[in-house]
A = this chain, B = another copy of it.
Amino acid sequence: MKVKIVEVGLRDGLQNERTILSTAYKQQIAGKLIRAGIRHLEVTSFVHPRWIPQLADAEQLVSQLPVNTAVTYRALVPNCKGLERALPTPVNEFAVFMSASETHNLKNINKSINETFPVLADVVNLAQQHGKKVRGYVSTVFGCPYEGKVSVSRVSMICEKLFEMGVYEVSLGDTIGVATPAGVKEVLGDLLTQFPAERLAGHFHDTRGTGLANAFVALEMGISTLDSSFGGLGGCPYAPGAAGNLATEDLIYLLHGMGVETGIDLDALCETSLFAGKLLGKKLPSKVLQSYVGVKERKRKE
């Protein structure tokens, strides 16, 4: 079994942190992540700098990332304007995003779901003209802060539209961390009757502690691409102080327990998260990280 881990901490993690890191620090973190074995990095988002001040240095950052042909750098783009800013940079891949909930989509990108499709189709089209691959993100797949449960048939319809446009993979986001393993089974069970597992990715948040259990269920159902954030960096705008993305360390620990070779050095990853936590002035929530610190502390005292 081979599992692709997409490290989204520098984008999805940092955009939910109050502290704004300097470009130099982000670049250092990227370097450390790569040395720890991370190969797929989502580094930033080319949205308008006013939207997400934490990622306002997109151009600057991507021009200063470590040069490593084994690494795929990805950036989010909301529309062709964003893509045009990103195209001349060393970013290898792009990602478009929309929500499976009408209300969330409207609040988040100020368009209805149907109005969003042509915007994203233009992005995919333009990216492909430049020989670049595009991933699709669907958010609130397992529940919406405004609408509650989201219909699986709507998720399925959106996936179909995104694949028709030419995205190579759809990442199914549990944006507010409400999914449970039972819900993941239900939604994936349905989607996998229509789409091959290798074209779907799981993007779980740990807001209610279910992130890892959900990831495990997805893996058992054949999903082999999972998104996570080093240290569990990030938070949830709908529940301030609560956890955000599934922690990469916790996911790696699970995978190594399953005998899956990830090529990632867990200790080096923990050290990276400790470095980032110090910069952000907070203890990052990954349990493996906290256990790593505790075991280190105990050995120091002995």
Contacts and interface: CB of A to CB of B under 8 A. Distances in A.
Interface of A: 177, 179-183, 206-210, 212-213, 215-217, 236, 238-243, 247, 249-250, 253-254, 256-259, 286-288, 290-291, 293-295, 297-298
A292 B175 CA distance: 16
Nearest to A182: B258
Contact of A236 (B240, B288, B294): B294
B239 A209 contact: no
A240 B202 CA distance: 32
* Main secondary structure on A side of the interface with B: helix
Contact of A254 (B213, B259, B291, B294): B213
Nearest to A207: B291
B207 A287 contact: yes
A212 B250 CA distance: 12
B290 A181 contact: no
B208 A209 contact: no
Nearest to A255: B180
A242 B291 contact: yes
A242 B290 contact: yes
A250 to B, nearest CB: 4
Contacts of A247: 209
Contacts of A207: 287, 291
A213 B212 CA distance: 6
Minimum-distance CB pairs A-B, first 4:
A180-B257, A239-B294, A209-B287, A209-B250
A243 B293 CA distance: 11
Contact of A294 (B180, B242, B249, B257): B242
Contacts of A208: 250, 253, 287-288, 291
A190 to B, nearest CB: 16
Contact of A291 (B177, B182, B257, B259): B177
5 contacts: A177-B291, A181-B258, A210-B257, A213-B213, A242-B295
